[in-house]
Structure 1
Amino acid sequence: MKRILTEPLVHFLLIGALLFLGFSVFRASDESMDTTIVVTDNDIKVLKADFERTWQRPPREAELEGLLEEKIREEIAYREGLALGLDRDDPYIRRRLRMKLELLLEDISAQASPGDEELQKFLEENREKFRQEPRYSLYQVYLNPSQRKETLQKDAEELLQRLKKGGDEVDPGQIGDSIMLPRAFPLSPATVINRQFGSDFTTQLSDLETGTWQGPIRSGYGIHLVLINQRIEGRDPDLAEIRPMVEREYELIMRKELKEKIYANLREKYTVVVEPASTES
């Protein structure tokens, strides 16, 4: 008898029997639980469609029966889990439910498309979001203060005159000091140039003429001689030019506001009690 009780298989069977008994007792006490599972025609259509998307063909009869059985098994596991309270105090399930609720609210808020009048008003109220910044195409020659020291300003003036007088005969790539930044910039927004040289450098570009070498102007690296080939001034575009962008931003903000309003209404249904923190260390 002792030998039988020490067998792993016997332990497994006993544990299974206890679990089965526990389920039976718990279920017996929950007579209100719905024990009818209805698989609708739409459920079957969804199962078939999911199968066809995966396997590029409709399911055979045996495969469909297997899909139906799996759905029934999932529904039973779901209901039994709820009956046992497995959904309670589980942070993962709570986060998933919150995510599904917020996605549902987003779907609701996305139903209505804004008209031109609403978008135009939104654009006027948020011009800074959609303002097109200045763009520059330029060439720069760098002078390193650490290398040139006292002759920095004199060298800059001499090189500037050389570039102005030399025209196409002077190759800017062969003069000045080396730096990891590119010498030539294609037409680029001011923010791109900011990231390379710093905002002080870009601010000074707005005061320079196009088509002639000028400088020196300063950056965080040192000083530069600059030739602006092309400049496109910043401006406020019309709605027709950027309608998709304005519509996306408008819908994003409206969805957020609607979610907050719905949450505020839902919160009014609840009485929230926050217990004081324990003073015990």
Structure 2
Amino acid sequence: MTILKEPFFHFLALGVFIFATYAWLGDGDDAGQIVVTRGQQDNLVSTFRQTWQRPPTAEEFQGLLEDYIRQEIAYREASAMELDRNDIVIRRRLRQKLELLTEDLASMTPPTTEEIVAFYEVHKEDYRADPRYSFQQLYFSADHRNEKAREDALGALLQLEAGGSEAETAADVISLPRAMRDATRREVAATFGTGFADALAALPEDSWAGPVESGFGQHLVRMAGHTESQILPLVEVWQTVRNDLLAERRQQAVADLYDNLADNYRITVEPFMGDRGR
């Protein structure tokens, strides 16, 4: 579907027309006249109130008016002197304003239920929940035991498999949890590291296993429970899906805008040799 068929394009065209007409007509019959409207004054007061959580005093309001008038004078004089030409900061700001206008127009029409459902069906994998793990771990320090850390862990594993409990007291102490319950893979990775988290999926439940290596050393792990990764039902992620759909719509609107506006230009990219041309 092209931008010409989208409702927001019509709003955009209207907005551009109004903006162009306003720029062509100027600020009124007298180009040298500055009028601070009631609406502009309300905006000044509203901005001040949002910043300071109170209305401005009479003196502060007068300062706001003077600053607004100076800003308007500076803008008109700088424009008359063409100081805005070839200014990268102004170019970026104008581009930002154009894109924000386009995004706002693209968001004016709320997505329908059918559109949200269709978006979810296409992007289901984006709403997959992390697997979850419940486990205990015994730690064998690589710093203290050096190359014997894995060997000692294997010895402790044999003792545990034989029913011995002394292996638990032989483990080293570290400021990591001895157990995690119903923790997401992301939470495990943040605590023990990505490699440790990846290894958990292959471990059996209800028995000690390992050693599993982390950035800290070697670990014996007893898996108590493991919930597989699963796609969350739409009802649980409805608002997230809706927000993602609006974000994609805004992004596509900007892309369509440039695609259509580019047709108005003859674009030439000269050959560039980089350092080879110097």
Please confirm whether the aligned pair reaches a TM-score higher than 0.5, indicating the same fold.
yes
Among 265, 268, 275, the alignment partner of 1:270 is 265
Match of 2:228 in 1: 233
Offset of 1:115 from its aligned partner? 2.4
**Which of the numbers 209, 213, 233 marks the counterpart of 2:207?**
213
1: CA distance between counterparts of 2:221 and 2:150? 21
Residue deviations 1:254-277 (CA, integer Å, cap 9, x gap): 211111111111222122233445
Measured at CA, do residues 90 and 208 of structure 1 come closer, stay the same or move farther in structure 2, by a change above 3 Å? same
Whose relative contact order is higher, 1 or 2, with alpha carbons under 8 Å and at least 6 apart?
A: 2
Cα distance in structure 1, aligned partners of 2:150 and 2:134: 31
Shift in Å at residue 114 of structure 1? Answer: 1.7
SS at match of 1:251: helix
Structure 1 pair 161–51 and aligned structure 2 pair: CA distance change class (3 A): closer
Q: For residue 41 of structure 2, give the secondary structure of its aligned residue in structure 1.
A: helix
Please say if 1:136 is aligned against 2:133.
yes
Quote the Cα distance in structure 1 between the aligned partners of 2:150 and 2:93: 66
Shift in CA distance, 94/150, structure 1 to aligned 2, threshold 3 Å: closer
CA–CA distance in structure 1, aligned partners of residues 199 and 146 of structure 2? 22
CA contact (8 A) 1:114 1:247 kept: yes
Give the partner amino acid of 1:56. R
- CA offsets per residue over residues 182-224 of structure 1, 9 Å max, x none? 43223211133245555554444334444x3321243255653
- Residue aligned with 1:113, SS: coil
Structure 1 length-normalised TM? 0.71
SS at match of 2:231: coil
Q: Any idea what SS the aligned residue of 2:171 has?
A: coil
1:142–1:223 CA contact under 8 A, matched in 2:
yes
Structure 1 residues 223 and 72, CA gap change in structure 2 (3 angstroms)? closer
Q: Which runs of 4+ in 1 moved over 6 A?
A: none
Tell me which residue corresponds to 1:97: 94
SS at match of 1:268: helix
| Map of 2:121 onto structure 1 | 124
Aligned partner letter, 1:274: V
Note if 1:187 corresponds to 2:182. yes
CA distance in structure 2 between the aligned counterparts of 1:58 and 1:195, rounded to whole angstroms: 48
Deviates most, 150-159 or 248-257: 150-159
Q: Which amino acid aligns with 2:212?
A: R
Structure 1 residue 82, shift from structure 2 partner:
0.4
With the length of structure 2 as denominator, give the TM-score of the two structures: 0.72
Q: Is the 8 A contact 2:153 2:211 kept in 1?
A: no
* Matched residue type, 1:34: A
Structure 2 counterpart of 1:159: 159
Matches within 5 A, 1:166-185: 166=165, 172=168, 174-177=169-172, 181-185=176-180
Task: Give the aligned residue type for 1:232.
Answer: T
Q: State the shift of 1:241 in Å.
A: 0.8
Distance 1:171 1:77, change over 3 A: same
Pairing 1:72–2:66 present:
no
- Is 1:113 the equivalent of 2:107? no
Mind listing any 5+ residue stretches in structure 2 that lack a counterpart?
A: 1-28
- Compute the displacement of 1:154 (Å): 5.5
Shift of 1:128: 1.7
Q: Given the alignment of the two structures, is residue 250 of structure 1 paired with residue 271 of structure 2, yes or no?
A: no
Q: Write the distance in 2 (CA, Å) between the matches of 1:240 and 1:130.
A: 11
Q: CA deviation at 1:99?
A: 1.8
* Structure-1 residue corresponding to 2:83: 86
Aligned residue in 2 for 1:12: none
Decide which structure has the larger Cα Rg and report it.
Answer: 1
CA contact under 8 A between 2:136 and 2:178: conserved in structure 1?
Answer: yes
2:237 partner SS: helix
The alpha-carbon deviation at position 234 of structure 1 amounts to 2.0
Give the number of equivalent residue pairs.
Answer: 243
Check the 8 A contact 2:131/2:228 in 1, yes or no.
Answer: yes
Q: Specify whether residues 190 and 276 from structure 1 end up closer, same or farther in structure 2 by C-alpha distance, changes over 3 A only.
A: closer
Give the alignment's Cα RMSD to 1 decimal.
Answer: 3.3
Is the 2:154–2:211 Cα contact (8 Å) retained in structure 1? no
